[in-house]
Chains A and B, each alone.
Chain A
């Protein structure tokens, strides 16, 4: 595929996505059940009742690189959870491995408190940077320590993780902490699926506004992803049929 074709296809996909996201959905659209999202209110409730912090981690996502949009999606999820947990006595904790995600995390927590009218209870130090190290193992070690020292009530690990997620999940399981995990890396995603009862899978992390927003108005993103997915499947099937027809 030459450069012009790639550029034309990119513009086409952007335009289609633009229409799908911008056009309001009039029909009632039922979102499919995702166990992890159903469990999230339970985790915030647990944090408030047990007076222990809910821990949300973004992994190694950062702003300015390939994981920028994943960082925004993780922050969106953290916003909804923090907003619910903000009424408790103990603030949620957000941990990041990339310094560029630190201001994002702090802004997310601040907005969550402001949305509840509790801006005076926001503390910037409840968003913490733990250096990742070469293979993010230092970050994993720091998070296992955090679970103990801060006596967290549960973990929501969303963002980018590799095999080091196994160490965090192991520590969490040993402490009997409910954990939800998802990663855009295949190794991390496989571990998340195997070691937690309620994993999020792949792009489900981007659907947080649709599932966690109380007013239910932000479902256009989920609908757009579904329509695009069906489009890709259709293109694949047509390609396969053409290929088979050419062969015979």
Chain B
């Protein structure tokens, strides 16, 4: 069997660092007879986590470089949507220059443009959902889809401030408290279990992401 040195090194590093961090997080502070080991492990864990934080912060530079190269090449090619890429590049330079000359002005720019556009988009989410529900029923009516739309309507009506909609309000509260809460917990438990299994796979080197 042929073993690549780089891949083996990556596996050894990942497994050993993973185990050290895990030990650092799991070992109790007051472990009898091993106080020195616990302190050392926790110190190494803290340093490793700091390195992760710094590395993640550095990826922002990679992200900005990626964004600029993608849009600069599209603008140069005059491909589809080149005008939007050009607007992005001009906006980027403008915000950068504004920030250098007056950081406060840059924040105002962000608040007046970015936040308002995002708020408008947030408003559109409701219409997208209602259209989605319509589309769903228009295509094919199944019991699951019917139940989904009925529950959605009950919850929406129950949330409205009508004086004579107590029945809907009670139904809405029950739905949110019992079935929705139970379903949500079920989903979250499932995700948590799968996360643990994936973590263990990474820890024992079964995951292929750093082996190739």
Do A164 and B190 touch across chains, with their CB atoms under 8 A apart?
no
**Complex Cα spacing A73 to B193, Å:** 13
Known contacts A3-B28, A166-B132; A64 and B55 CB within 8 A of each other: yes
Do B26 and A141 touch across chains, with their CB atoms under 8 A apart?
no
| A10-35 CB contacts (< 8 Å) to partner B | 10-11, 13-14, 17-18, 20-22
Residues of A within 8 A of B (CB): 3-4, 7, 10-11, 13-14, 17-18, 20-22, 62-64, 69-70, 72-73, 75-76, 79, 99-100, 102-104, 107-108, 111, 114-115, 124-125, 127-131, 133-135, 137-138, 140-141, 145, 148-151, 163-164, 166-167, 169-170, 173, 184, 186, 189, 191, 193-195, 201-203, 205-207, 221, 224-225, 228-229, 232
Known contacts A137-B118, A140-B121, A169-B132; A102 and B63 CB within 8 A of each other: yes
Can you add 6 more A-B contacts, CB < 8 Å, to A76-B209, A203-B190?
A17-B196, A21-B206, A103-B62, A166-B125, A166-B129, A229-B189
Do B131 and A170 touch across chains, with their CB atoms under 8 A apart?
yes
Minimum Cβ distance to chain A for residue B18 (Å): 11
How would residues 68 to 80 of chain B score, 1 for a CB under 8 Å from any chain A CB and 0 otherwise? 0110011000011
| Residue B164 CB within 8 A of the other chain | no
Do B132 and A195 touch across chains, with their CB atoms under 8 A apart?
yes
Contacting B187 at CB < 8 Å: which of A13, A104, A201?
A201
Minimum Cβ distance to chain A for residue B140 (Å): 9
Contacts of B189 in A (CB 8 A): 229, 232
Minimum Cβ distance to chain B for residue A211 (Å): 13
Name the residue of chain B whose CB is nearest to the CB of A163. Answer: B125
**Complex Cα spacing A50 to B212, Å:** 30
Contacting B197 at CB < 8 Å: which of A64, A169, A195, A221?
A221
Do A75 and B202 touch across chains, with their CB atoms under 8 A apart?
no
**Complex Cα spacing A11 to B194, Å:** 16
Do B59 and A103 touch across chains, with their CB atoms under 8 A apart?
yes
Known contacts A131-B67, A166-B132; A11 and B200 CB within 8 A of each other: no
Contacting A138 at CB < 8 Å: which of B114, B129, B188, B212?
B114
Contacts of A193 in B (CB 8 A): 148
| B79-122 CB contacts (< 8 Å) to partner A | 79-81, 84, 114-115, 117-118, 121-122
Do B132 and A173 touch across chains, with their CB atoms under 8 A apart?
yes
10 A/B residue pairs, CB under 8 Å, sorted by A = A21-B204, A102-B62, A131-B67, A140-B121, A163-B122, A186-B187, A195-B132, A221-B198, A225-B190, A225-B194
Name the residue of chain A whose CB is nearest to the CB of B67. Answer: A129
Name the residue of chain A whose CB is nearest to the CB of B183. Answer: A186
Do A203 and B132 touch across chains, with their CB atoms under 8 A apart?
no
**Complex Cα spacing A201 to B144, Å:** 15
| Residue B12 CB within 8 A of the other chain | no
Known contacts A99-B63, A202-B191; A228 and B118 CB within 8 A of each other: no
Contacting A206 at CB < 8 Å: which of B124, B136, B198?
B198
| B137-164 CB contacts (< 8 Å) to partner A | 148
Known contacts A10-B26, A135-B122; A206 and B195 CB within 8 A of each other: yes
Name the residue of chain B whose CB is nearest to the CB of A15. Answer: B200
Name the residue of chain B whose CB is nearest to the CB of A107. Answer: B209
Do A100 and B59 touch across chains, with their CB atoms under 8 A apart?
yes
Known contacts A76-B209, A137-B121, A167-B125; A206 and B52 CB within 8 A of each other: no
Do A69 and B198 touch across chains, with their CB atoms under 8 A apart?
yes
Closest 3 CB pairs of A and B: A149-B81, A99-B63, A203-B194
Contacting A17 at CB < 8 Å: which of B62, B79, B197?
B197
**Complex Cα spacing A79 to B211, Å:** 13
Contacts of A137 in B (CB 8 A): 118, 121-122
Do A14 and B200 touch across chains, with their CB atoms under 8 A apart?
yes
Contacts of A128 in B (CB 8 A): 66-67, 70
**Complex Cα spacing A163 to B123, Å:** 11
| Residue B135 CB within 8 A of the other chain | yes
Name the residue of chain A whose CB is nearest to the CB of B200. Answer: A17
Do B66 and A127 touch across chains, with their CB atoms under 8 A apart?
yes
**Complex Cα spacing A166 to B128, Å:** 6
Minimum Cβ distance to chain B for residue A12 (Å): 11
Contacts of A124 in B (CB 8 A): 66
Contacting B121 at CB < 8 Å: which of A20, A69, A141, A224?
A141
